[in-house]
Chains A and B, each alone.
Chain A
């Protein structure tokens, strides 16, 4: 439970990260029901309006589309892609890691770990290139590519955390009570590595935002007319000398999101970890 007292103990980075993340998330939610202008509303006469324009606070692009509206809708895409990709990574990676840890030293564990090492040889972009080459570009393919990339990351973190727990005597106590390895994994191991997983989740979330931006920048992500931060940057590139705000605004949106998530992850680790570690330190 988050009480006032625990709020006060939160590190500054966690608070700041939560504020930034909430800001972007709110923006994405609001855009579901309302944006200042429709994102497909072209207005060639009012194109390339500068920042702080009376009607278009963040200006307009070369088709006269409202940049604020596009950034808001773009947040939806970025967050959705990164979040679902984290979900894919956790849904497949965590059970794999937990199973490998429960069967430590067996052939299964060996195969999982070797497969994991190999999976790291395929960066998200390379997976995306492969998928796009076959299926063509789309936001869904970006999700799959980033999701696949996340699986070995979570498998490794879950296995590492779980192995530490398996060495603890309380696990032996549960086995003496006759509990199965599956039940122990779910009842004891998973809750005790949840901090690790949440922290890793926030890191992968922010990496996912960056990866999505990169993929849509090179045209392997969300396709027109869906606005996305990466493609806005790609389109702004030829106009950067006379309309730099077209590049700066979506860039800042990415930076704020990633910064927020990273600060939140770091803060969470600082906030949750010492409570778990304090016990162990007392032994010394």
Chain B
């Protein structure tokens, strides 16, 4: 544990973080685009159309990875916020806050693709399905964190307050999920099981899903590093390393 802390702390030096992030970013972005392109090609072109839902089911190659990411990023944000609150790492604070808009973005993508898929499948853009409803509440949780962070003038104070909110939300998330499921069974009338019978998935459908799940992770990594890095430079604009990072090494005064 102690070694882990030391490692985190060394990573937590803004200057070092900036250097490491700058090196990894292009790789992660490249991998995201490459794997994503292959995944989309396999999913949208090569994989067979669903025999029940037809071509429209292909939207799940975006919908499902985005839904996974929305939860993953919420968890990441809360974990990062936890590190920020307990050990007061500046980088962890900014990282948690950089993750929030990305997570909100993936959540929005999940909701939009879900409703687009719902139109041909259910004949309507929105159904109060348990998963979609949970996802909607998740979006509001992200908005709360982003809103609180932006409302507090002192950046570090704001990041810590929003981190605490993210943690409260994390504790609440399984309860929300469970309650929404319970609610859906209580009102049996309009309960439709999204993606029923997914257990016996054909490999030609599984591969694009896995690739897309990987691509979204890479994308998140690249986006997170870039956002955190820029937030750090903004925050420490007056410091020498930030000046050097932006304008190159200062020449000795003539």
Q: Do A and B come from one complex?
A: no
Q: Which residues of B contact A (CB under 8 A)?
A: none
